[in-house]
Structure 1
Amino acid sequence: MTKENDLLIYNGEPKQTNYSENDKTMNNPTITNYSKFLDFFQENIGIPLPVVPYQKDILNDKGKPKFTGKNPSYYKDGKPTPIYHSKVNSFDDVKEYFNTDKELNIGTKITRDDIFVIDIDCKSEKTIIDDVFHKICEYNPDLREKGLLEKTPSGGYHLYTKVTNPINITIFTVRGFEQYKIGEIISKNHWGFIVNAPSKGYELINMDTPIEIESLESIGVIPYKASNKIRSQPSTDIDKSQRKLSSYYKGKYKYLKDTGEAKFTDRSEEFTGLVKDLYSLRNRHKRLKDLDKFIDDIDEVIMSTGANLFDDESRVNRILEGIDENDCFDSENNLSDTELVDLLLPEVENNLKYSEEDDYWYLYDDNNKYWKKYPNNARVIELISQSLQQLSVGKVNYYHILNCERLLRGKLITEFHIDLNLLPLTDCVLDISNNQLIEHSPDLMLTYNVGYSYSNSRECPITQKWLLESVGGIQEQVEVLRAYLNCIVTGKIELQRFIHLVGSGGSGKSTFTKLATALVGEQVTHTTKLQKLEENRFETAALKNKKLCLINDSDSYGGEISNLKNITGNDSVPYELKGKQQGENRLTPSCMVLITSNEPLRLKEYTSGLARRRITIRFENKHNVSRSLIDKIQNGWKGELVKELPQVLNWVLSMPDEKVVKLIKYTEQNVISLVQTQRDTLTDTSPLADWVDYNVVYVVNAKAYCGNKALDTNKYLYSNYCNYCENSGFNAVSINKFSNLLLDLFQSQLKMPTVLKKRDNTGFYFTNIRIRTDKDSNIPTTVKGISLIEDTDSTREKQSFLLIDDESSIFDS
């Protein structure tokens, strides 16, 4: 707080200050003579920002001055430059901007939730400005004598307040002036920035910590639109209690106190009713922990009334002894909604949170050890009602409970940033970043658990046997699937690969996707279709905080795949939520992708962008015997594989990172059995690759021109390609794209660097390839027939490395 001798107060007798009279307004302030103001605003309001004064010669696109003297700005290389205050996070971001010899003003970005600036402007009726100001100060004289107060260039006032119970008011009026639009309330959530004295034209009247008030309404400030509905004078808790206490002096029980005459024959009954009512009033304020000064007044009313009613003091004492003050409450609730919320908050704040982002309530489930989401407020309404009953506040109608729920949202706003490094098991939490097990806690903000416990074992014979059967007994492909499950659990999106499972119905594709989902949890898995992912603009938003994206049954889609490429390439995608105003929001998904289909996908993608990220594994072993391996039920999973989930997790995570990288990032160089699969997939999914496989041969020193569609199909590449597409029912790519796509196919996908694209006087041509003829039957096909990996000793060493199975558990320590 600012010290007394640092204050600058120009109201009545000036206080002692170490500011000069010139500090009231400054034409050319610098960071040196601004320092005391900068420190004050940082401590009490927010982040000080420079403001370039009004510049009439610099216009915007609409022909109006771009720099009006009311927006954050500074001089960059001598030229005024805007500052976007929403991007300023600390004073250090803008401190250097104050170091200038040019004229500069000062403003503040409001960062405190409780600071509300009453901007008294009265644009429609300037003559009432002072009357309005004095009217507000009648409610709280400290606003005139203390706090932070400024006079604006237009003759208005900036009145800074610290509000205990804020409500949403932007355009306001003042009681007694309801027909006028007085001005605006500037706060963190409305405008968020204000120009301050000692800027040019602004006069500093008082400079101290903003005055604390209960609410804006308590000083007569009310919403302009609702002003015609509000007639009663503003009231605080003290006002209400004074009036209610006064009613016992002047109203219902006045005759008891003043005359000692009972309205009914039983004076004891009258006196008992008075005592219980007054005890109810006192109990109310005991709960609210305020108005202690009225407790003695209540006792005085009781004793003086008792003395008037009864000559025998012992009779008064007997009646009082028969009344338990703790049991005295109003039959009807007499607390405001704000007071009810103040009582509720300590009861619910530890197990109830509200997420503003998804507009859901979260209740901590102590049995399952996570914050459970509630799509509607019915459960919260029930909790509030039960808590109010336990607090014995009297009868509370449904309308008040709804208001309490609404007010509690603002008190309990919490951001649920899911930490994907934490895997919540039923009995503990695994921190994947360091392989440590930690205890459950509400502070971890977990919103799910995976439904199985931790196990130090990694023996999962049923799962391993089923995986081996599904891939036709090829052990190294089991290791690839194990490595990819490791990537899903640990979030190795930087490897930029995805697995495409291809196989007929009943071959086990969906069983593997269920296994992957159960391993990491349904809450961090999103299931979609390829067409929906690409064409529904809201679909990519569902990938936020997900570890796995499942794309099922995508055989029929043949459109663009820009979103799939961005997701698997660790790039951003649009982030758009239904029913919310959108900006240029982007999301970089943190999920691995798993695609299943009965047949290879024929997509409009000929470049290596997707092909080099895809690992195709064929599930061709159709199981004849129907088995319940893993199926979803209401509260989890059931099946033979479910009981092994704890061991599968340990088995998956025990694979060394070096091995995971070799299997997933460098699959073609390390997994021999998948090389031919990848080549087969390439020809199945790319008409260009299929044409090359059958119609083009690799011959050293050969030369083939691209040509155009009209030339000889036996000599020119493009005309031969177009003929193939026409006969096969495919759409040919344009001649402009053809040569670049063909070069990408040979060099990036087929890894044939000696096939080059060149140009001479005749046109573009490719080296070391030509059109296949009838005499080339002994030359292998170009895609499927030429092996990428020779069967050498080093290859066999790579293969044996893949089959090494570490015996140690990552949790042995």
Structure 2
Amino acid sequence: MNTIEMQSAPALLDHDAALNNSELAIIAQSATGEQDLAAHSTKTASSTPKKGQQNQFKSYEDWKAYIRKSFIEGSGIAPEIFDACVEFHQDIECGLGGDVETPIHDALGWEYKRFRHQANEPLYAAFLLNEDKSVWQVVVSIWDIEKQRPYKYFAPKGDGNRAFLPPLPIGIRQLIAQKSGLDVPMFGNFWQWVKESVNEVGATEGGKKTLSALSIGHIMIGLYGCECGAPGRPPALNPDLAAFVGPGSTLVIAFDQDEKLTAVKAVTRGIRKLKLVLQNLGAYLAIVEWSPKDGKGLDDLIVNKGEEAFDDAYNKAIAYMESQFAVSKDSSTDKRPTADIISREIAEEFRDRLAYNNEARQWMHYEIKLPGVWSGETEEAIEMIVYQIITARGIEGYSTHSYITNIVKFLRSQLFVREWNERSPKELMPFFNGVLEIATGKFLPHSPGYRLTWQLPRSHDPKATDWSHIDAFLTHLAEGNRQLKDLLICYCNAVLKGRSDLQKFLHLIGLGGTGKGTFSRLIVNLIGKENVHSTTLDDWCSNRFEGANAHRKRLVLFADEDRQTGKLGRFLSLTGEDPIRAEEKGRKAFHYQYDGMVLVLSNLAIFMGDAASRVKRRVISFPCNNAVDPIKRRNLDKEFEPELAAFTNYVLSLSDDHVTAVIKGLQEIPECTLEFWENRTRVDSIAAWLNQCVIADPMAKTAIGNDRFEGEDGSTVTTLFGSYNRYCHRAGSKPKNHNNFSPDLLEMCRSVLGWSVEKESTKTGKFIRGLRLRVAGIDDLIPTHDYTLAQNLNKGDGTGDGTGDGSEPILHKGFTDGDGTLISQLEKQVELVFEPESQIDNSLLEENSLTPQPVENDLVINKSGLGFEPSPSVKASPNNGFEPSPQPSPQPSPSVTTRQPVKGDRVRLLSGGEVYLISWVSCGSDKVLLVSALTGQPLTAPSPLRSGAAAGGLNLIDVSELEFLDT
């Protein structure tokens, strides 16, 4: 720790016990320099915080100010490079989508324990970032007992011995250009330019020293410690460092000038290892030295003596090295062609067979594995190819391997492909024997210009037509339902054509032996095993290297998943055409947009709580309930294999419009709607309560409430929150808290059920208009939502025209009058929800209008673009709907009573005999608005009993058309 750090460390004297002046002097004297992270004491993410190591900073802002001052003033680091490569984080942060994130724990691989007897102390951190945005090192606000300072250094777990290659802003690049005389690019990848164009680079230990040297114009690479340049026995050059060092190049090291014997031995050992590996490589080593009195680290030297002092020490090291390794200009008699010349010759010969894919940072080789397909190659593989080429040409005697690596570097520039514009499977479908042009049906030969990186694992056979075994299996899986079967076939089309634009994934739910695994294997064999990435939701959402495995894949399979309650942001990016970060160890990360499909399998519902709400717009829940007798089960893969060509032909014959309509739910499938709702009620307590205890009523207004113990004293529950908690208590479910209840309830009603509900605030409390609690004995004839959806399975002709998915408010259904008891009971209830005003305002007219409202629908969208369109009225009959009351309805009075109408009057339409309540009276008392006495539904739509009613709005009824039942 620098002296300035010791003076400004917050709460230093308050840690455990106060330190006396002599102790502080000893600490300050031993901490005048700072070694960021020595090789022998490198802390990784496995070094989890220990008990008693507390955060000494009063606030996040204090931490940021302290680190900034320590770097800029304490180590002479330019503010612009500090801002470019240092990123601050807290242990808990809120992401853009509202997700709670733990960036420090995620970066270091720590487990964040949320529930303890004592609250977690806040943690602050400063991330040192590489140019590729990867984290090189993390400074955490944990008290370092050993070094008596309020922070510790940690390295990300599993990254290995990496070098620090920070991003450089334009100002720093200009300084480097002035000091080195090199033509430094002001934009783009700085360190890639150094690899390709610079013959002399520096290396030091620690992030601060690296940034300090860069701030004064020296190209400096950071290492974790003095022995990290060539670790191991026997020593091997650090892989990151090796990319900058080759035959004839110079490495300038500026390690700490320690005076402790153990530290001196470590530095000497590190230099000796570096010298050995560089000599074997044909490179040179220059050692920068200065007096320890001027500062331990190079940043201390720059702060104490100025940048000129380090410049002098650096130049002396170069001069001494050159004097030791002076070589006569006439000593070279090498007659072999130079690397640039031979690379041009190779590039011309292999231009259609080799290419460097800039997007994926990878070499590509045409037809090395499959005909017509570009496959990825490693750097080592390309070097092997170059070696074989130059050996065949009789070129030898180049003594070092750098000759080959230099040829490869030149080749990269000459075969560089900035954008890998692969032809979409919507345009060309690659087969083993050629490519099928989707638009015209023409079968074309392979060509490297298509840039294809995959193909179907079979030849195209246009004459193949028999896929009877596959057809029988799909019929079984769909339980004979043509719509469900069509959905499965359309999904196969989406997988083949890469219909990521649909932003949907298929979720097969059912117990073992129902065909889920067989269908997944059918899909895998259809698209090809090499084109599928199989993973788990846990790995995909938590492993930062998992994203690279799905690059260029056509299907990502999540087989046999368990319940999920954690973060799903990365999974939603996979299904939502969002950029996905791909990172491989030792390679620069890149982003890509996944253009394939996703398949999830599970025995039960897996998306819990908030996760269920987040995936609702993307998921297609497919029920797998048709189990096969264990005795009759067999492996169908062999039976399917000879039919895959014919099945492929049929699947590709489907039109894109039809596939879009089916996958996006423009044609409703009641089975999927019911499966989704049943799964939602299993994992969401609000959905389960809504299903059992709530009725949609456009005229109702019910208090939300805030008493979770309401009704426990025997009183009647009248609020939504009280009813919800009572239901959860009886059902053994864990209720949500009051703050989340009403937002989640509104979201459920609007987005999932398509109910028109609004939250209102008055002087007396908060209410939700459009919902009322189910009343036993009164609402017994009104079915629950899941029952209505189940009834829809037997309705209609199976064409899925979008009418009647069962998601409309239950009050839209018609019922018989019965014996009149129900009418009188409902009459009292309706009076409770009417507004007290005698006239109805325009806002209420608009609110009661049944004009469909746009909603976000997770599965079913009707043809008009709206979700969950209401069903037509259900007629009571012995075979459909509900049984009529055994007691006949009273006969209408033979005489018609007419008088001046009053709001709340019970009336009967003369044209049909339906019973209504008056909800509004015109100023002249000659026109009224009516609502059903049974359900509270406004009279809006035409009906068989009143065919003249106009659809789409509230209908004004003339008083002369009414019979008043209340005298």
Q: What's the TM-score once normalised by structure 2's chain length?
A: 0.46
Instruction: Show CA shifts across 1:288-342 (max 9, x none).
Output: xxxxxxxxxxxxxxxxxxxxxxxxxxxxxxxxxxxxxxxxxxxxxx555556545
Q: Structure 1 pair 339/231, CA: closer, same or farther in 2 (3 Å)?
A: farther
Tell me whether 1:628 sits opposite 2:635 in the alignment. Answer: yes
Tell me whether 1:419 sits opposite 2:423 in the alignment. Answer: yes
2:89 equivalent in structure 1: none
Q: Residue 381 of structure 1 contacts residue 401 of structure 1 at CA under 8 Å; is this kept in 2?
A: no
Structure-1 separation of matches of 2:651 and 2:431: 16
Counterpart code for 2:423: D
1:715 equivalent in structure 2: 718
Tell me whether 1:429 sits opposite 2:446 in the alignment. Answer: no
Spell out the pairing of 1:105-144 with structure 2 (5 A cutoff): none
Q: Structure 1 pair 757/566, CA: closer, same or farther in 2 (3 Å)?
A: farther
Counterpart code for 2:534: T
2:559 equivalent in structure 1: 552
2:769 equivalent in structure 1: 767
Structure-2 separation of matches of 1:353 and 1:405: 14
Structure-1 separation of matches of 2:542 and 2:584: 15
Q: Residue 550 of structure 1 contacts residue 593 of structure 1 at CA under 8 Å; is this kept in 2?
A: yes
Percentage of matched positions with identical amino acids: 23
2:604 equivalent in structure 1: 599
Query: Secondary structure at 1:599's aligned position in 2?
Result: coil
Q: Residue 117 of structure 1 contacts residue 185 of structure 1 at CA under 8 Å; is this kept in 2?
A: no
Structure-1 separation of matches of 2:564 and 2:612: 18
Query: Secondary structure at 2:639's aligned position in 1?
Result: coil
Counterpart code for 1:716: T
Instruction: Show CA shifts across 1:453-490 (max 9, x none).
Output: 11224442111111111222222211011111222222
1:352 equivalent in structure 2: 354
Tell me whether 1:483 sits opposite 2:497 in the alignment. Answer: no
Structure-1 separation of matches of 2:726 and 2:564: 25
Structure-2 separation of matches of 1:405 and 1:363: 17
Structure-2 separation of matches of 1:118 and 1:718: 65
Query: Secondary structure at 1:737's aligned position in 2?
Result: helix
Counterpart code for 2:327: S
Please state how far the C-alpha of 1:770 moved relative to its aligned partner. Answer: 2.8
1:301 equivalent in structure 2: none
Counterpart code for 2:615: L
Q: Structure 1 pair 411/622, CA: closer, same or farther in 2 (3 Å)?
A: same
Tell me whether 1:740 sits opposite 2:738 in the alignment. Answer: no
Q: Residue 675 of structure 1 contacts residue 788 of structure 1 at CA under 8 Å; is this kept in 2?
A: no
Tell me whether 1:168 sits opposite 2:165 in the alignment. Answer: no
1:689 equivalent in structure 2: 687
Structure-2 separation of matches of 1:172 and 1:551: 46
**Out of 464, 473, 484, which is 2:480 matched to?**
473
Q: Structure 1 pair 726/368, CA: closer, same or farther in 2 (3 Å)?
A: same
Query: Secondary structure at 1:615's aligned position in 2?
Result: strand
Structure-2 separation of matches of 1:565 and 1:349: 39
2:752 equivalent in structure 1: 749
Tell me whether 1:785 sits opposite 2:814 in the alignment. Answer: no
Instruction: Show CA shifts across 1:239-297 (max 9, x none).
Output: 96xx68xxxxxxxxxxxxxxxxxxxxxxxxxxxxxxxxxxxxxxx7xxxxxxxxxxxxx
Q: Structure 1 pair 588/720, CA: closer, same or farther in 2 (3 Å)?
A: farther
1:611 equivalent in structure 2: 616
Structure-1 separation of matches of 2:477 and 2:774: 38
Counterpart code for 1:655: L
Query: Secondary structure at 1:774's aligned position in 2?
Result: coil
**Out of 405, 410, 418, which is 1:403 matched to?**
405
Counterpart code for 2:663: I
Please state how far the C-alpha of 1:725 moved relative to its aligned partner. Answer: 3.2
**Out of 579, 589, 604, which is 2:594 matched to?**
589
1:232 equivalent in structure 2: 327
Structure-1 separation of matches of 2:455 and 2:568: 33
Query: Secondary structure at 2:401's aligned position in 1?
Result: helix
Structure-2 separation of matches of 1:597 and 1:759: 42
Structure-1 separation of matches of 2:457 and 2:342: 38
Please state how far the C-alpha of 1:589 moved relative to its aligned partner. Answer: 2.9
Spell out the pairing of 1:180-195 with structure 2 (5 A cutoff): none
Structure-2 separation of matches of 1:122 and 1:557: 56
Counterpart code for 2:665: Y
Structure-2 separation of matches of 1:732 and 1:523: 45
Instruction: Show CA shifts across 1:417-439 (max 9, x none).
Output: 54333432101113446655332
Q: Residue 668 of structure 2 contacts residue 802 of structure 2 at CA under 8 Å; is this kept in 1?
A: no
Instruction: Show CA shifts across 1:347-399 (max 9, x none).
Output: 54443334466565433326731446466556545433433343123566673
1:658 equivalent in structure 2: 657
Structure-2 separation of matches of 1:513 and 1:698: 39
Unaligned runs of 5+ in 2: 1-71, 81-130, 132-172, 184-194, 203-213, 220-247, 253-283, 285-317, 712-716, 804-967
1:495 equivalent in structure 2: 502
Q: Residue 362 of structure 1 contacts residue 373 of structure 1 at CA under 8 Å; is this kept in 2?
A: yes
Q: Structure 1 pair 345/474, CA: closer, same or farther in 2 (3 Å)?
A: same
Tell me whether 1:452 sits opposite 2:427 in the alignment. Answer: no
Spell out the pairing of 1:64-143 with structure 2 (5 A cutoff): none
Please state how far the C-alpha of 1:599 moved relative to its aligned partner. Answer: 0.8
Tell me whether 1:531 sits opposite 2:538 in the alignment. Answer: yes
Q: Residue 491 of structure 1 contacts residue 590 of structure 1 at CA under 8 Å; is this kept in 2?
A: yes
Please state how far the C-alpha of 1:609 moved relative to its aligned partner. Answer: 4.3
1:441 equivalent in structure 2: 447
Please state how far the C-alpha of 1:507 moved relative to its aligned partner. Answer: 2.2
Q: Structure 1 pair 424/614, CA: closer, same or farther in 2 (3 Å)?
A: same
Structure-1 separation of matches of 2:218 and 2:554: 44
Counterpart code for 2:390: L
Unaligned runs of 5+ in 1: 1-60, 68-85, 87-115, 124-128, 134-148, 150-165, 174-180, 187-220, 245-283, 285-333, 631-638, 802-813
Structure-1 separation of matches of 2:798 and 2:515: 29
Counterpart code for 2:752: Q
Instruction: Show CA shifts across 1:522-555 (max 9, x none).
Output: 4443322122222223433444434322222222
Moved more, 712-721 or 520-529: 520-529
Query: Secondary structure at 1:596's aligned position in 2?
Result: strand
Structure-2 separation of matches of 1:606 and 1:347: 54
1:680 equivalent in structure 2: 678
Structure-2 separation of matches of 1:715 and 1:657: 51
Q: Residue 423 of structure 1 contacts residue 449 of structure 1 at CA under 8 Å; is this kept in 2?
A: yes
Q: Structure 1 pair 733/614, CA: closer, same or farther in 2 (3 Å)?
A: same
Counterpart code for 2:683: T
Structure-1 separation of matches of 2:345 and 2:588: 35
Structure-2 separation of matches of 1:357 and 1:496: 23
Tell me whether 1:645 sits opposite 2:648 in the alignment. Answer: no
Moved more, 784-793 or 601-610: 784-793
Q: Residue 420 of structure 1 contacts residue 545 of structure 1 at CA under 8 Å; is this kept in 2?
A: no
Say what the alpha-carbon RMSD is for the aligned residues: 4.5
Tell me whether 1:510 sits opposite 2:512 in the alignment. Answer: no
Moved more, 716-725 or 340-349: 340-349
Alignment: residue pair count: 510
Counterpart code for 2:563: S
Q: Structure 1 pair 436/66, CA: closer, same or farther in 2 (3 Å)?
A: farther
Please state how far the C-alpha of 1:647 moved relative to its aligned partner. Answer: 1.7
Moved more, 640-649 or 361-370: 361-370
Query: Secondary structure at 1:663's aligned position in 2?
Result: helix
Q: What's the TM-score once normalised by structure 1's chain length?
A: 0.54
Structure-2 separation of matches of 1:462 and 1:746: 43
Query: Secondary structure at 1:450's aligned position in 2?
Result: coil
Please state how far the C-alpha of 1:603 moved relative to its aligned partner. Answer: 1.6
**Out of 568, 571, 582, which is 1:561 matched to?**
568
2:701 equivalent in structure 1: 703
Counterpart code for 1:695: C
Structure-2 separation of matches of 1:497 and 1:507: 23
Please state how far the C-alpha of 1:594 moved relative to its aligned partner. Answer: 1.4
Which fold has the larger relative contact order, with Cα–Cα distance below 8 Å and residues 6 or more apart in sequence?
1
Structure-1 separation of matches of 2:378 and 2:588: 22
Q: Residue 340 of structure 1 contacts residue 404 of structure 1 at CA under 8 Å; is this kept in 2?
A: no
